[in-house]
């Protein structure tokens, strides 16, 4: 709905928002405009923001019957099937955060009070739904194994099934991690499911919870004592293309790469053996990579690589025989 997108953009302070139309009252009494954060529905046990703008922000050239003034007012709100968690005055009007107490349609009732008397009052239906499924995309992690202190994005997709049998995406605020003091925590709470997770402790058991549904998080957080900072060498393409890939990061006790680290750099010297002058190779035998991975083509006469990697408060060198 076009008017909803405009009101959301204003309330969230979106830069460069262009007003093509002005909102019209859509409340049950035809007095106020209500903009839902999640028009398809909010999952039972979760919450969403309802935005109620005043009209003073809209250009005088718009022809609209939406004329409301919230100056020197307060807002009271209550819900049928809802719990009102918060009301806040914004530059554009009022924001009400409501929690769905059931999986059925609910109604938000508001009064804009000027002192002890209502200046405006209206109500609006809020679609509350029962979640049918929850899936989690953790593809931002290059491996299901990681270490403590890593922040990474995931996409959580909540769905419900309509009365017509259509599967639609829904959402809500109030995501949690089970267990609360486990290996993973939440760094944000986005209603659409664009979440940031942070690893807190070693472990493998964690789930993302949304209302009454949950989904396992397929990852393993390795204990600090079980890894060291080092360099992993991938020599699988040497025979076919002379390509060598080096990755700096967390290495487990078996020598396998767990994950790369942010803020890495790698310097590589290619030669015919330890202690020799740099032999044929990329950039005359010396290669510098300003990130965690160095991919280089080495000359067939090269027999040895000396690589050093640095990350914040970490440094490692390694000799690699080709």
High-pLDDT (> 70) share of the chain, %: 84
Distant-in-sequence, close-in-space partners of 180: CB < 8 Å, separation ≥ 6: none
Structure confidence by residue, pLDDT tens digits, 108-126 = 999 999 999 999 999 999 9
Quick one: pLDDT at residue 94?
A: 96
Structure confidence by residue, pLDDT tens digits, 26-41 = 999 999 999 999 999 9
DSSP 117-159: EEEEEEEEEE-EE---EEEEE-TTSSSSEEETT-EEEEEEEEE
Domains of the chain, start order: 2-129 (2.60.40.10), 133-222 (2.60.40), 225-321 (2.60.40)
Predicted structure pTM score: 0.79
Distant-in-sequence, close-in-space partners of 241: CB < 8 Å, separation ≥ 6: 297
Name 50's bridge partners: 36, 96
Structure confidence by residue, pLDDT tens digits, 67-98 = 899 999 999 999 999 999 999 999 889 999 99
pLDDT band at 24 (very low <50, low <70, confident <90, very high): confident
Structure tokens at 226: 């079980």
Quick one: pLDDT at residue 289?
A: 65
Sign of CA dihedral 297, 298, 304, 309: negative
3-state secondary structure of 57: helix
Q: First CA to last CA across the chain, in angstroms? A: 61
CA distance 148 to 146: 7
CA distance 174 to 111: 26
């Amino acid at each position: 709905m076009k008017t909803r997108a405009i009101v959301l953009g204003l309330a969230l302070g979106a830069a460069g928002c262009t007003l093509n139309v002005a909102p019209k009252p859509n409340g049950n009494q035809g007095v106020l405009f209500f903009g839902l954060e999640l028009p398809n529905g909010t999952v039972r046990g979760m919450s969403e923001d309802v935005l109620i703008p005043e009209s003073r922000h809209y250009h005088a050239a718009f022809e609209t019957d939406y004329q409301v003034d919230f100056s020197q007012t307060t807002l009271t709100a209550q819900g049928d099937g809802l719990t009102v968690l918060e009301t806040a005055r914004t530059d554009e009007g009022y924001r009400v955060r409501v929690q769905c107490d059931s999986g059925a349609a609910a109604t938000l009732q508001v009064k804009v009070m000027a002192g002890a008397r209502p200046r405006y009052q209206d109500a609006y239906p809020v679609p509350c739904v029962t979640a049918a499924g929850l899936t989690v995309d953790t593809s931002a992690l290059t491996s299901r194994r990681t270490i403590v202190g890593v922040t990474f994005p995931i996409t959580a997709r909540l769905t419900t099934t309509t009365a017509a049998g259509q599967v639609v995406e829904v959402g809500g605020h109030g995501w949690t991690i089970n267990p609360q003091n486990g290996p993973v925590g939440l760094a944000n709470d986005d209603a659409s499911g664009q979440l940031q997770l942070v690893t807190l402790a070693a472990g493998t058991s964690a789930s993302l919870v949304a209302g009454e549904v949950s989904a396992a998080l397929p990852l393993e957080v390795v204990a600090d004592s079980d890894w060291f900072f080092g360099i992993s060498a991938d020599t699988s393409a040497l025979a076919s293309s002379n390509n060598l890939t080096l990755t700096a990061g967390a290495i487990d006790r078996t020598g396998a790469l767990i994950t790369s680290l942010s803020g890495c750099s790698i310097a590589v010297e290619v030669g015919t053996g330890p202690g020799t002058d740099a032999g044929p190779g990329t950039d005359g035998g010396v290669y510098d990579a300003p990130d965690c991975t160095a991919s280089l083509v080495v000359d067939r006469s090269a027999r040895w690589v000396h690589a050093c990697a640095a990350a914040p408060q970490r440094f490692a060198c390694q000799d690699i025989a080709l």
